[in-house]
Amino acid sequence: MSDLRTKYLGLELKNPLLVGSCGLTGTADSILNLADKGVGGIVLKSLFEEEIIMEYEKNLKEGLGHADNNLEFLDYFDYQLKRDKFDGYRRLIDDIKSKCDVPVIASINCYSVGEWFAYAKLLEEAGVNALELNLYRIPSKIQIEAREIIESYLEIVKRVKEYVTIPVSVKISPYFTDLANVVSKFDLLGVEGVVLFNRFYSPDFDLENDRIISGPVYSSARDYANTLRWVAMLKEQVTCDLCASGGVHSADTLFKMLLAGADSVQVVSALYKNGAGFVRDLLSGLQNWMVKKNLASIQDIHKLGRSMMPENAEVFERVQFMKYFGDHN
Ligand SMILES: Cc1cc2nc3c(=O)[nH]c(=O)nc-3n(C[C@H](O)[C@H](O)[C@H](O)COP(=O)(O)O)c2cc1C
């Protein structure tokens, strides 16, 4: 048997396969089942910043009705409210931590530089092993420039890094003009990892019933190429870890992500489609590849991947372009 152990965000993982943030990581039963199937770690279902703020404002208004502008009350209220909102998440974390030793990464879905930073600290105190910041914002307003959005992301990351000492990773979308530069800015802020990439919810029309419905929620087995490319292109250019997320539906793709240099790989849609037991198929398929290629460790996979890469990431991109599209009539 090859050794699947690896390090991600400074955490010791028994293998590089993580279950990404989703409904499957929102209940203790489901998480324990995934841990039992052998996953290397889990990213909890995101706490949503909007939820936190809405609850904060609603309760603040109700609270003010009773206590006018009493600052002590507001201080207490602020503290109490954050505690209440947090309790459910904390119970989930306690439950998992008392029943299994799978590393737990909490996720916060961040939108703004706002009121919610204390949650990062509370999550740290609750004993999670790391924090994943899900920077999910669709820049649909024509007045807002790219620079503004990136600056707000950097500010969020900077603030969170000031609040916590546990490792922090940033999960981003693939839609940046200057993706490599943006990742390098997170790297310079000292994040321990970047997750490439999030998947956006896409709406669609239901033509029969004249209403808006959800587009395809799950990725398909063909959706991995962009993640693979960016992991390969960024690996040697940044010091933080890279986690591949998007379109991993087979052991072959899992192995490819590791060849590209991923320090860990997240899977979600494939588990919704195939059930938690698919974790075992992915891991045994990875073992098979390692045996076939005579690779004893995850580091050996990285080494093999590096040996296949041209030295310069830009050359890699250009060569591929010319090779595949230049000759295509
Ligand atoms: C049903 C569902 C729920 C999700 N919920 C979250 C979430 O709460 N937070 C988050 O960061 N990503 C969420 N995601 C995105 C996944 O974590 C993952 O980044 C994306 O689905 C790409 O991976 P995949 O191709 O393996 O599905 C969700 C995805 C699905 C399908």
Instruction: Report residues whose beta carbon is within 6 angstroms of any ligand 1 atom.
Output: 20-23, 45-46, 107, 109, 134, 171, 198-199, 217-219, 223, 245-248, 267-270
Overall average pLDDT of the 128-140 stretch: 90
CA of 109 to the centre of ligand 1 (A): 11
Nearest CA to ligand 1 atom 12: 21
Ligand 1 centre distance from Cα of residue 19 (Å) = 9
> Which pLDDT band holds residue 112 (cuts at 50, 70, 90)?
confident
Per-residue model confidence (pLDDT) at position 130 = 98
62-72 pLDDT, tens digit each = 554 544 455 55
Question: Domains of the chain (ranges plus CATH)?
Answer: 6-326 (3.20.20.70)
| Interval 43-59 mean pLDDT | 69
> What tens digit of pLDDT does each residue of 170-189 get?
999 999 999 999 999 999 99
C-alpha 273 to ligand 1 mean position (Å): 13
| pLDDT above 70 for 102 | yes
pLDDT at 72: 55
DSSP characters over 254-320:
HHHHHHHT-SEEEE-HHHHHH-TTHHHHHHHHHHHHHHHTT--BHHHHHHHHHHHS-SSHHHHHHHH
Substitution site in 199, 253, 271 for ligand 1 pocket (most atoms within 8 Å of beta carbon):
199
Q: What spacing in Å lies between the alpha carbon of 25 and ligand 1's midpoint?
A: 10
- Asked if the model's pLDDT at residue 59 lies above 60, the reply is no
| Helices 251-260, 298-308: inter-axial angle, 10-degree rounding | 70
pLDDT tens per residue across span 221-269: 999 999 999 999 999 999 999 999 999 999 999 999 999 999 999 999 9
For 187, the 3-state DSSP assignment is: helix
The ligand 1 atom at the shortest distance from the C-alpha of residue 21 is 17
pLDDT at 66: 47
Residue, of 153 and 321, whose pLDDT is higher: 153
Cα within 13 Å of Cα(175), Cβ side: 11
